[in-house]
Amino acid sequence: MQPSPDFDPVTAAKKLLREGRSGALATLMPPSGDPYCSLVNVATAADGAPLLLISRLAVHTKNILADPRVSLMLDERKPGDPLQGARVMLMGTAATSDDPGVRRRYLDRQPEADMFAGFADFAFYRMALKAVHLVAGFGRIVDLAPKQVLTETGDAAELVAAEPQIIAHMNGDHADAVRLYATKLLGARDGNWRCVGCDPEGLELQLERTALRLPFPQRVRAPDALRHVLKQMAEDARRAA
């Protein structure tokens, strides 16, 4: 399917990926290969790769350790008939990660997991995507390549490295702007919105279990450029207010 003026499948898939906070994880039972599905909480790496925190005591983790092939479905959790909402199915493999950035990004989005993230049987996993299947309504069913929904970060190392400082600065010094981004630019309900992520293509904002993606008007690769973009977006939000 080709994008239409009112529908861009790449944008729709990226939004679902970045805003998802829980989803259905499918794994394969050894030795039969029978499918097994479970509910998991999720986050994303800087490039958008899904992140999990799961226990070796869980059936799905035992399955992954025997066969890393998985699929993960995320949906937009809209009111009404869930089949009328958008969802994205991600296929690939899952592997453990001891990258501190993976831990930080997951816990920024799933803070309640901090109490058991250090347990010996828990580990962080990162999905390497192989295929993406988007269902976004009648006639809007699209297969996408992983490179279409993941975010290039190779040219934005400075921005990625500065993400913890950016988040702390936005939440500590510009909480009013974060709130305006959510309520005026994204039309969200009022509340104590906070910034939980930053990558070259946008910010992630979160209020309790609700997450929203705020895309940048242009790609950002360094903190100095980000400062100008955020200032302009704050001005736009204040005018909207």
Domain-located, residue 187? yes
pLDDT tens track for 97-123? 999 999 999 999 999 999 999 999 999
Residue 135 CA to residue 46 CA, distance in Å, equals: 24
Q: Same domain for 13 and 117?
A: yes
Q: Which of 61, 57, 52 is nearest to 121 (CA)?
A: 57
Domain-located, residue 23? yes
Number of domains the chain contains? 2
Provide the residue type at 228 as one letter.
Answer: H
pTM: 0.92
Domain-located, residue 4? no
CATH (domain of 192): 3.20.180.10
**Tokens coding 195:** 């910034």
Q: Same domain for 144 and 183?
A: no
Domain that holds residue 124: 9-149
Domain-located, residue 202? yes
Per-residue pLDDT band at 5 (split at 50, 70, 90): low
Q: Same domain for 52 and 139?
A: yes
Domain-located, residue 142? yes
Per-residue pLDDT band at 4 (split at 50, 70, 90): low
Check whether 82 has a pLDDT greater than 90. no
